[in-house]
Amino acid sequence: MTNYQFVEKDASELCRKYDLPVLSGRLLAASGLPDDKIRELLFDDGTLHTSQAECVQRMCRRLRQAKENGEKVFIGGDYDADGICSTAIMKDVLDRLGIASGYYIPDRFREGYGLNEKTVEMVADRGYSLIVTVDNGVRAHAAIARAKARGLEILVTDHHQIEEEVKADLVVHPDYMEPEFATLSGAGVALQISRNLLGDLPFHTALAAVAAIGDVMPLWQESRRIVRQGLKALRQGEAPALLALLRNRDVIDAEAIGFQIVPRLNSVGRMNDLSNVNTLVPFLLSHDPAAITAYKTQLETVNEARRTMSAKMAEQAEKLVTDDDAILILYEESFHEGLNGLVAGRIAASFGRPCLVLSRSQDMIKGSGRSIPGFDMFRFFSEGFRELTAFGGHEQAVGLSFRQEDLDLFREHVREKTRGMQIEMKDTVVPVLPVRMTDISIHEIEALQQLEPLPKELSGFRFALRHPAVVRRFAGPRVTKYIISEDGHELEAVLFPYRGISEPETIRIMIGRLSVNTWKNRKTCQMEIESLEE
């Protein structure tokens, strides 16, 4: 359940200090951000910086040497949006430098995450002398050892947490770079190598922006600049393959990327039995309209198959839910491994309980879990489950596997550990800023948009009108529109049926997000309604 919490803080001092419009001042005051973060939001011009860290410089020197020596370089990638974009950036860098190169993104199910020993053997047998990982590598200890044993040099570029010494020849990682690069995604790290070797390529920045959004990186410092400049590059027509994945090219923002581009890229890795994730790299690098259109059609087919299969799988999973389990464990041999996490998230949200969805993979059972607000799923499974052969994740999402014969043992362990526990779903609290109609104008909303892309400290806020003066209402099959007018200020509030909101006869409070709608060169203030209270 969503609880809307009204936040009313005096923004007058902040507005005077920084000469801010009303809505921007209220939002920043309510956020509680320190002054240095506010100044970054207001005054950083978004100009990209280039890391001069020693690890980055050593990487660039080594790649230049590879070109001089005529070496073959292998790129080891990853199957999510960040890993795919990282692979595309690095492949394009090597192509532009004239370095012979190949790449491989592992099969999510048969091979798992990151560089493995089998791939290293293949690389060595095919005459490569140098391996570069992107968006993985800091945990590939066995593969690194195998590369050394085969006489290969291995350079790791990654952004995941380093838990133990990485015995590669070189590690390029935000931990070893300047502080302003601390929040880089894997593609953000690859972008620093690109910028040092090739200068400013908006095409690469667009790829890195998609990766940062897909990996939900904190949008501060260089990651924020990358997203801002990447969105600008997309609006200017860079990366035509990415643009082809958008439903409406008139609206190119972080939300459009997060809900339209990223899921389509991720769907290929999830549905690797229907497609090959490695084919995404030449697609992303293509500038051929015909090739882009043809591949997009295939991609839409895969994405639609994912939607259909996940809906059917969720329907099956719901039938397995019982009332007596604090943590839902839903196993069906035929469940699609790549959809376990999506379905677990849907079930957890519907039933208000943490959920594990399990499927069979040969003699193993593999699963993904999604939690509910207030319950640390990673911590729960971190202790006492010796039957697990693999485990990882974070507070709200986990992945695990165990032998098929241990299924009953695993279920009993979960039940025993949860016996007597109170696992309750905490209500989602959304902060709301009350505004007056006189506060709402094109200028005010466009000033808010200047703060985008919004970091998570700001993105959760909504705006509320108390006792809105509705002068007209239009009900259609796709949307209901309210025209609100007061003191010469007008707002179009839209309510979409999918939200399932009942419409009261008298509206006491209207809550939603503000935007500027442009139709036939005419701009209007708009609110997308998320709650109506009588």
Q: Are 366 and 402 in contact (CB under 8 A)?
A: no
**202-214 helix and 81-97 helix, angle to the nearest 10 degrees:** 160
Q: Which 3 state secondary structure label does DSSP give 211?
A: helix
Boundary residue ending a domain (232, 251, 280): 232
Domain termination site, one of 399, 418, 437:
418
Is residue 105 one of the residues assigned to a domain? yes
* Residue 35 domain-assigned (yes or no): no
Residue 442 has phi, psi (to 5 degrees) of -55, -45
What integer pLDDT is reported at residue 2 of this predicted model?
A: 75
Are residues 369 and 448 part of one domain?
Answer: no
Distance from C-alpha of 170 to C-alpha of 156, rounded to nearest angstrom: 6
Residue 286 maps to a domain: no
What 8-state DSSP symbol labels residue 166? -
CATH code for position 80: 3.90.1640.30
pLDDT per residue, tens digit, the chain (534 aa), is 678 999 999 999 999 999 999 999 999 999 999 999 999 999 999 999 999 999 999 999 999 999 999 999 999 999 999 999 999 999 999 999 999 999 999 988 788 888 999 999 999 999 999 999 999 999 899 999 999 999 999 999 999 989 899 999 999 999 999 999 999 999 999 999 999 999 999 999 999 999 999 999 999 999 999 999 999 999 999 999 999 999 888 889 999 999 999 999 998 988 877 789 999 999 999 999 999 999 999 999 988 888 899 999 999 999 999 887 899 999 999 899 989 999 999 999 889 999 999 999 889 999 999 999 889 999 999 988 999 998 888 888 999 999 999 999 999 999 999 988 878 777 788 999 999 999 999 999 999 999 999 999 999 999 999 999 999 999 988 899 999 999 888 999 999 988 888 888 899 999 999 999 888 888 999 999 999 998
Domain-embedded: residue 47: no
Instruction: Name the CA radius of gyration of the chain, rounded.
Output: 25
Query: Is 220 in the same domain as 116?
Result: yes
- Tell me: do 401 and 466 sit in the same domain: no
Structural domain containing residue 362:
327-418
Residue 448 and residue 394 share a domain: no
Any domain includes 187: yes
Q: Are residues 77 and 206 in the same domain?
A: yes
Residues 525 and 502 grouped into a single domain: yes
97 and 227 fall within a common domain:
yes
d(C-alpha 236, C-alpha 239), whole Å: 9
436 within domain boundaries: yes
> Domain total for the chain?
3
- Domain end point (choices 232, 266, 281): 232
In terms of domains, do 406 and 459 share one? no
What is the model's pTM? 0.90
In angstroms, what CA-CA distances link 469 with 42, 190, 491, 526, 534? 33, 52, 10, 15, 14
Cα 204 to Cα 99, 195, 523: the distances in Å are: 18, 9, 33
